[in-house]
Amino acid sequence: MKTTGRVRPVSAAERAERARMSGGLPTLEFEREIPYDAYVRTDVLHDLQRPLTDAPGEMSFLVITQVMELYFNLVAHELLAARESLRADRVRDAVAALRRTALHLEAANAGWLGLRWMTPADFNSFRDRLGEASGLQSGMYRLVEFRLGLKSEALLRPFRGGAREEALRRAFDEPSVWDAATALLARRGHDLPAAVLGRDFGAEYEPHEAVERAWVRVYQDDAAADLEGDAVGGDGLRALGDALAEVSERFGDWRYQHVAAVRRAMGAKPGSGGSNGLAWLERSMARVVFPELWSARTYM
């Protein structure tokens, strides 16, 4: 069991004995710091909100941005687990990780609700104090994109020489979740060319008709298994496809909500990070996650 100097593990027997001794009442006195604070690190967490102005809405903007960063961390963690499970042929574990990823993205999407109040006047009341800070500079968001398979060498430039450079470069050069899923299809007997399986994983992904055909076959085989009364429905690849599609949709929702929030708060003004703002985000949103999984539906 993992532990730290701040958190003392407690067994089920100890918890039961404590409840018996207290008559079921919660413990309200502690020799050291409150265990909840020790585990969650609330002393650190609640010291991170330091608005730069007295604008009444800046605290909302700052907290929700920080919450988004935490969700990016969680999503990146789950995507790594999904990829490693795929590489080890543990499809069920990969599907579970992808389903968790979709739920985390759904929760992150709910964060945008807390910014619906923001008009251009509200944002302008503290925007200048942000300087050149921009969400486009989020290293954790880039890590999520790289693990999903959205890669562009230019997006690594802001992180050169920084603390995140090594982790981002590694994720950039390694296979994405989509690359791992494609390799799994090949191991399961789908005919995929070397140009797909041995590609440069750091290059921008180009959809391939062979991958599209493989997913068409996955869903057709699963439908045939259903007609034959096979409750298992084949080799789990249909469940994998559905889980990947859910992640793609929820990530697309997040990008759409981002565009909507920018449009609401600043219209088509230039972005704080030097881009042309809304137009740049709209172009970025056009890059599809797991493209052949969607194009294959035309032929199913």
Domains observed in the chain: 12-44 (no CATH), 54-299 (1.20.58.480)
pLDDT of residue 275: 62
Q: Which amino acid is at 182?
A: T
Q: In whole angstroms, what is the distance from residue 25 CA to residue 21 CA?
A: 9
pLDDT of residue 257: 92
Ranges of the chain with pLDDT below 70: 1-5, 223-235, 270-277
pLDDT in tens, 199-257: 999 999 999 999 999 999 999 987 665 544 444 344 699 999 999 999 999 999 999 99
SS3 sequence, 171-205?
Answer: HHHCCCHHHHHHHHHHHCCCCCCHHHHCCCCCCCC
137, 273 Cβ separation under 8 angstroms? yes
Q: Which amino acid is at 292?
A: E
pLDDT of residue 225: 59
Q: Is the dihedral of CA 195, 199, 205, 211 positive or negative?
A: positive
Nearest to 262 by CA among 285, 295, 245, 246: 285
User: Hey, how many other C-beta atoms are within 10 angstroms of the C-beta on 206?
Assistant: 9
Q: In whole angstroms, what is the distance from residue 1 CA to residue 198 CA?
A: 40
Is 127 part of any known ligand binding site?
yes
Output the DSSP codes for 23-38.
Answer: TTPPP---SSS-HHHH
Is 258 part of any known ligand binding site?
yes
Q: In whole angstroms, what is the distance from residue 267 CA to residue 182 CA?
A: 39
Question: Which residues lie closer than 8 Å to 294 by C-beta, 6 or more apart?
Answer: 245, 248, 288
Q: Which amino acid is at 131?
A: G
Q: In whole angstroms, what is the distance from residue 266 CA to residue 217 CA?
A: 46
What phi and psi values does residue 62 have, to the nearest 5 degrees? -70, -50
Q: In whole angstroms, what is the distance from residue 196 CA to residue 169 CA?
A: 21
